[in-house]
Structure 1
């Protein structure tokens, strides 16, 4: 069992990241107010929500060793949720539960893109091993979540 350590969203491509203490997550909108969450007609929503492990983020930063004045907050990865103290499954079809009702099905790895190197040189490469860039998923059941909520692997 782990904990939800952070919530973030952005409302447009390359837009600023907004961090939150709590948010509603739904099957139709994903993280409310996030650009990528809404499922478009005819689409599956397999990239609806993104999660990253705090431990994976720290491992990537350990390789980069950014200068103290360039400390990188987890949300520059542009992931929606930061989980702590739990290793997320590395296979599609597994289900992650957050809080009382939110359920997310893992659909694929969140491969780091070239934008990561725009943020910090070498960040893309540091996020490549062992799914460090996080996972993508589809919302199965709606839920209101908050920092500190319990995170579990259900199947």
Structure 2
């Protein structure tokens, strides 16, 4: 199993159902997740378990191949696209991105019915083996950029 991958994409949206903005770099912190992303701010009384979402490029491509469609990765509405690395399939693991950012995995990012609006059958295609991605909370701030190394630390 490969323990080092790379950050292939960064995306955020400033409001629910808002358009995804693809970025080359972004600051990520414990207070707001990805700077400018509406979902990253931890609301009073909440745990922040959905602060950052990550998806494997390989899982996204496999789901699309099953359906025979081509859809840009950001339409999944994930924040970070990782390539060359299998993301953890359990809570409590630490994902390091770049020099400083650390994200603790909290749960699977279950695909929602919105995926059906993108392509019929996409929700079902993303269900097996955490293909829809993983959610996490920021435990150490950092600035990241496309091309940064991604590692599983524990």
The residue number in structure 2 matching 1:133 is 132
Distance in 1 (alpha carbons) for counterparts of 2:45 and 2:71:
37
Distance in 1 (alpha carbons) for counterparts of 2:23 and 2:103:
19
The residue number in structure 2 matching 1:98 is 97
Residues 3-35 of structure 1: per-residue CA shift (max 9 Å, x gap): 000000000111000000000000000000001
Distance in 1 (alpha carbons) for counterparts of 2:47 and 2:71:
32
Residues 91-113 of structure 1: per-residue CA shift (max 9 Å, x gap): 00000000000000000000000
Pairing 1:35–2:34 present: no
Distance in 2 (alpha carbons) for counterparts of 1:33 and 1:141:
18
Residues 124-149 of structure 1: per-residue CA shift (max 9 Å, x gap): 00000000000000000000000000
The residue number in structure 1 matching 2:64 is 61
Gaps of at least 5 residues in structure 2 are: none
RMSD: 0.5
The residue number in structure 1 matching 2:12 is 9
Correspondence list, 1:85-124, <5 A: 85-124=84-123
- TM-score when normalising by structure 2: 0.97
The residue number in structure 1 matching 2:78 is 79
Deviation at 1:81, TM superposition (A): 0.0
Tell me the number of residue pairs that the alignment of Structure 1 and Structure 2 aligns: 151
Residues 33-85 of structure 1: per-residue CA shift (max 9 Å, x gap): 0010000112110110000000000110110102xxxx200000000000000
Distance in 1 (alpha carbons) for counterparts of 2:82 and 2:32:
21
Q: What secondary structure does 1:55 align onto? A: helix
Pairing 1:50–2:53 present: yes
